[in-house]
Amino acid sequence: MNMIDPFGRTISYLRVSVTDRCDFRCVYCMAEDMAFLPKKDLLTLEELDRLCTVFIEKGVRKLRLTGGEPLVRKNIMHLVRELSRHLKSGALEELTLTTNGSQLARFAGELADCGVRRINVSLDTLDADKFHSITRWGHLDKVMAGIDAAQAAGLEVKLNAVALKGFNDVEIPQMLRWAHGRGMDLTLIETMPMGEIEADRTDQYLPLSLVRAELERSFTLNDIAYKTGGPARYVEVAETGGRLGFITPMTHNFCESCNRVRLTCTGTLYMCLGQEDAADLRAPLRASEGNELVSNAIDEAIGRKPKGHDFIIDRRSSRPAVARHMSVTGG
């Protein structure tokens, strides 16, 4: 059984934010003094498992755990272990997660034991001082130890870096060589207008078309058809033999092939990252022991999935395109 949206797209990819909390406060993502959700609003791990299972029964083949920082959720490995039964049964093709890497040294081995094969690590700089300044609370050595542990456990690691003008633009060639030297893909992401932060995003915004043009002065970038199920477009870098991805929600959106929906830790389903329209799945989930009510609510929500998002960053529109922070919806 598949979920088909109004534009004929099969929804086969669910991203689940298991917590809005994080042990970093990255300047482009969060305000330093964040108000987090009260515990009673959160789905329990059992409820998250139940909801994910309904989605898998309805045709989801790829499940990504996100946050906030997913590995700071208490007993998160219990949920990962429970969900891994769907990998064993063949119902789920991939269980993966996006992490800031701070807790990876603790959990990498267990993630691999649960059938997780690859993870994404968010890393915007290789400079320890700059890393601490952009994350406010993070320490690069902990993340590096986490990446070491992940690779030692046999996990495939992909790095995600948000391209920020005047911060890491000059570092991108070095990051590319370092990642590819360790057998990791690197994906660059344009900053997105989500949630109020202290900085002016027009000052941070760096179109990836400019980044690519700059990289092509030093590297040969060949477009390839490689896909991971997400929105990145990939090139192969001839000089390193590695892959480089571009996620361009601002300059070139990828909505026409969108196969994703996002579930928050409170049971809110967002059909599009860049739209406010959402569906409450917590109420139907808690209203009955069976899953018919929640299954119907999912069907109704998928029937409202929009064709695309409305992201814009410019001087005239300093307000974020959506008011919620990325940490609420999940990266």
Annotated binding residue at 315? Answer: no
**CA dihedral for 24, 29, 32, 35, sign (positive or negative):** negative
Annotated binding residue at 261? Answer: yes
Annotated binding residue at 88? Answer: no
Annotated binding residue at 316? Answer: no
DSSP state letter for 57: H
Q: Which residues contact 106 (CB under 8 A, 6 or more apart)?
A: 71
Annotated binding residue at 262? Answer: yes
Annotated binding residue at 68? Answer: yes
CB atoms within 10 A of CB 120: 22
**For the stretch 47-78, what's the b/e string if a residue is b when 16 or more beta carbons lie within 10 angstroms of its beta carbon?**
bbbebbbbbbebebbbbbbbbbbbbbbeebbe
Annotated binding residue at 258? Answer: yes
Annotated binding residue at 201? Answer: no
Annotated binding residue at 192? Answer: yes
Annotated binding residue at 12? Answer: no
- Which run of H or E residues covers position 214? helix 208-215
Of 171, 80, 155, whose CA–CA distance to 123 is shortest? 171
Annotated binding residue at 187? Answer: no
Annotated binding residue at 28? Answer: yes
Annotated binding residue at 329? Answer: no
Annotated binding residue at 265? Answer: no
Annotated binding residue at 255? Answer: yes
**For the stretch 203-214, what's the b/e string if a residue is b when 16 or more beta carbons lie within 10 angstroms of its beta carbon?**
ebbbbbeebbee
Annotated binding residue at 217? Answer: no
Annotated binding residue at 241? Answer: no
For the annotated binding site for GTP, the residues are 15, 64, 98, 158, 260-262
For the annotated binding site, the residues are 15, 22, 26, 28-29, 64, 68, 98, 122, 158, 192, 255, 258, 260-262, 272
For the annotated binding site for S-adenosyl-L-methionine, the residues are 28, 68, 122, 192
For the annotated binding site for [4Fe-4S] cluster, the residues are 22, 26, 29, 255, 258, 272
